[in-house]
A = this chain, B = another copy of it.
Amino acid sequence: MQGIKAFLPILDWAPGYGRRQFADDSLAAVIVMIMLIPQSLAYAMLAGLPPEVGLYASIVPLMVYTFFGSSRTLSVGPVAVLSLMTAAALGRLDLPSVEAYVTAAMTLALMSGLILLLLGFLRLGFLANFLSHPVIAGFITASALIIALSQLQHVFGVSAHGENLLVLLPSLVASIGESLSSFNWPTLLIGVGVMLYLLWARRHLARILMQMGLAKRLAIILSRVSPIVAVAVTILLAWALDLGEAGVSLTGEVPAGLPGLTRPDFSLEIWLALLGSAALIAIIGFVESVSVAQGLAAKRRQRIDPNQELIGLGSANIAGSFTGGFPVTGGFARSVVNFDAGAATPAAGFYAAVLIAAATFFLMPLLAFLPRATLAATIIVAVWALVDFSIVRKAWDYSRADFLAVLSTIVITLLAGVEYGVASGILVSILVHLYKTSRPHVAIVGEVPGTEHFRNINRHEVVTHEEILSLRIDESLYFANTRYLEDLIYREVSARPQLRHVILMCSAVNEIDLSALESLETLNRRLLEMEIRLHLSEVKGPVMDALEGTHLPAELSGRIFLSQHQAVSELLAEENAA
């Protein structure tokens, strides 16, 4: 039973499910449904997919997550960044038809779902940690910029392409220039109008609703679902004024009702072509989702299990791929709305999915009149909130290493596209970390007079002795820094002709790997040839445990002291006795 429970978090809360939870969850479901519909349509468009695909992706994945996810309030569905990544991945494939494009999107969902599931079963969720905070922040900002720019074409009623600024910007400018003579003013009016309305709603609507007497929570929630108003109004306008005839690009006829079971592509060629993209989508989706889920869980002193989240998100994507969907994950805005609307259990997500499924039946005919400019404006306003360059300044102030990682992520994402951006961000973070630990901080230390404390000779007034060199190494000893430390020690030693003892103070050494062990053995041998003895002090328990199985303690020309004070005083006594 415990074994099953570990993989089905639903068993945690379903037994205690009662009328109260049902009431809370249903209300949240209605609100989330209203919010999800325009979002799903918009993000499908961003991914280059027909709008109904966005709705399909918001039905079964949402239901499946209910059973396998560990967060109680996460709302799963299409999100901006994954949609952009989907567009980038599929754009490269040069597919012959819309059907092939849709199938490839489902295949991408299947593959990233399988990757998530695999990582979950192997308990490899920690891999996501290699996306550092600054890299994620830089990546989100740069992606949001690309997304906003890519949607401007729909607001201007022109067409542009490109997955990075170098292609997108010239393409956009050129096509706006070309269409200047035959500019479609109604499209621009709708696009700009919706953007202004949404920006106004974000700033003022909640306050105005409260002044009208609504409760604060309700007012905030209603202001969050304002895009549905824009959708409804512009559909009405397009129908009433026959804007399609006036040259406004509309979504057009879409099939009503639910899709049947769909079949992703299983050809090896497509899988090889999409593998890298699927892995990046899986990781980015997971990281985004986990941070949202963790933030919300902490507010209620709940916990989420990252490995279980991998399984939940993986199952959701796999299920989505067989029901006409594309890559999904837990979204920030919708999850916050779900949480604020009072969702008590994951069942809220299930109900929202049922409502969306029902909506597809009566909604599809209306979508024919939905202007693309409305969706584009919704996307632009949504992602504009994500553009935040403050991380660049923060990183610059805090450390050059983090700054380098952020800057390269932003620049490469903007200039080369999302996938290169993420990959280079991960790579730069790792290289910078390795570089830093390969040249650790080493302090020559001396005794603070009248105490047993040893401090950096450059920072404090301390006592040293010319026969003894005490070095405190502020880093684990491992392959990347052994040679640096050897060089440093030989340099210090060759500058001190009177030297008889070198003491390595190991209070901050958390590990000694085999390279470092061999390096210590060599150091010991070579120092002995110079008639200098090597000692260690303040070696930690786990490190000492490892050393005790080796020849080092026996071969060491010097001794291993419990404390640095003891080391220096005993060695001085020996020297004076001799």
When the two chains form their complex, are residues A132 and B550 in contact, meaning their CB atoms are under 8 A apart? Answer: no
Known: A429-B479, A486-B294, A529-B298. A550 touches B129 (CB 8 A): no
- Taking the nearest CB of chain B, how far is it from the CB of A290, in angstroms? 8
Distance in angstroms between the alpha carbons of A560 and B559 in the assembled complex:
35
Q: Is A430 a contact of B436 with CB atoms below 8 Å?
A: no
A398 close to B430 (CB less than 8 A): no
Query: What sequence of 0s and 1s flags, for each residue 483-515 of chain A, a beta carbon within 8 Å of any chain B beta carbon?
Result: 110110011001000000000000110110111
Among B133, B303, B439, B522, which residue has its beta carbon within 8 angstroms of that of A479? B133
Known: A133-B518, A438-B126. A303 touches B399 (CB 8 A): no
Once bound together, how far apart are the Cα atoms of A482 and B134, in whole Å?
13
A519 touches B479 (CB 8 A): no
Count copies of this chain in the complex: 2
Cβ distance A471 to chain B, nearest Cβ, rounded Å:
14
A474-B542, A480-B433 in contact; A397/B132 too (CB < 8 A)? no
- Is A301 in contact with B514, judged by CB distance below 8 angstroms? no
Contact of A515 among B132, B436, B440, B478 (CB under 8 A): B132
A121 within 8 A of B: no
- Tell which of B398, B478, B522 touches A433, judged by Cβ atoms closer than 8 Å: B478
- For window 384-434 of A, CB contacts with B under 8 Å fall at 394-395, 397-399, 401-402, 429-430, 433-434
- Picked from B398, B474, B481, the residue with its CB within 8 Å of the CB of A550 is B398
Whole-angstrom distance between the Cβ of A64 and the nearest chain B Cβ: 24
**Cα-based distance from A475 to B126 in the complex (angstroms):** 16
Closest to A305 in B: B487
Task: Give the distance in Å from the alpha carbon of A65 to the alpha carbon of B78 in the complex.
Answer: 62
Given contacts A128-B483, A529-B299, contact A514 B546 (CB under 8 A): no
A203 within 8 Å of B by Cβ? no
A549 engages B397 (CB within 8 Å) = yes
Contact yes or no, A530 B402, CB < 8 A = no
Residues of the B chain whose Cβ atoms lie less than 8 Å from the Cβ of A482? 129, 133
Minimum CB–CB distance for A347 against chain B, Å: 23
- Chain A 289-303 per-residue mask, 1 if CB under 8 angstroms from chain B, else 0: 010001100110101
Inter-chain contacts of A92 with B (CB < 8 A):
none
Nearest Cβ in chain B — how far from A509, in angstroms? Answer: 8
Alpha-carbon separation in the docked complex, A102 to B510 (Å): 50
The docked-state distance in angstroms from the alpha carbon of A132 to that of B401 is 24
Q: What's the Cα separation between A344 and B510 when bound, in Å?
A: 42
Kindly state the separation between the CA atoms of A298 and B508 in the bound complex, as whole angstroms: 28
Find out whether the CB atom of B130 lies under 8 angstroms from the CB atom of A398.
Answer: no
A15 interfacial contact with B, CB 8 Å = no
- Tell me the bound Cα distance from A277 to B99 in angstroms: 44
Q: How far is the CB of A256 from chain B (nearest CB, A)?
A: 44
Closest-by-CB residue of B relative to A403 is B514
Q: With a CB–CB cut-off of 8 A, which chain B residues contact A401?
A: 513
Contacts A546-B399, A550-B398 given: A301-B478 contact, CB under 8 Å?
no
B510 touches A298 (CB 8 A): no
Docked complex Cα distance between A510 and B397 (Å) = 19
A226 touches B (CB below 8 Å): no
Q: Shortest distance in angstroms between A277's beta carbon and chain B's nearest beta carbon?
A: 22
Interface of A is mostly: helix
Q: A514 touching B479 by the CB < 8 A rule?
A: no
A19 at interface by CB-CB < 8 Å: no
**Is the Cβ of A303 less than 8 Å from the Cβ of B491?**
yes
Contact assessment for A540 and B129 in the assembled complex, using a CB-CB cutoff below 8 Å: no
Bound: A528/B132 CA distance, A: 24
A541 within 8 A of B: yes
A479 in contact with B433 (CB, 8 Å): yes
A216 contacts B by Cβ under 8 Å: no
A456 at the interface (CB under 8 A from B): yes
Q: Which of B128, B395, B508 contacts A514 (CB 8 A)?
A: B395
A483 x B514 contact (CB < 8 A) = no
Interface presence of A20 (CB below 8 A): no
Cβ of A514 and Cβ of B481 under 8 Å apart? no
Which residue of chain B has the shortest Cβ distance to A483 in the bound complex? Answer: B129
If A429-B479, A456-B541, A490-B298 touch, whether A514 touches B129 (CB-CB below 8 Å) is: no
- Does A306 sit within 8 A of B, measured CB to CB? yes
Does B480 lie within 8 Å of A130, measured CB to CB? yes
* A483 partner residues in chain B, CB cutoff 8 A: 126, 128-129, 290, 306
CA distance A430 to B514 in the complex (A): 14
By the criterion CB–CB under 8 Å, are B549 and A494 in contact?
Answer: no
- Are A510 and B474 also in contact (CB < 8 A) when A430-B434, A483-B129 are? yes
A517 interface residue per 8 A CB criterion: yes
For the complex of A and B, 3 pairs with smallest distance between CB atoms? A132-B479, A402-B514, A298-B526
A contact residues vs B (CB 8 Å cutoff)? 126, 128-135, 290, 294-295, 298-299, 301, 303, 306, 394-395, 397-399, 401-402, 429-430, 433-441, 456, 459, 474-476, 478-484, 486-487, 490-491, 494, 507-508, 510-511, 513-515, 517-519, 522, 526, 529-530, 540-542, 546, 549-550
User: Would you give 19 A-B contacts (Cβ < 8 Å), ordered by A?
Assistant: A129-B481, A129-B483, A132-B514, A133-B479, A133-B514, A133-B515, A133-B519, A294-B486, A303-B491, A306-B487, A395-B514, A398-B514, A398-B517, A399-B513, A402-B514, A429-B479, A456-B541, A507-B508, A508-B508
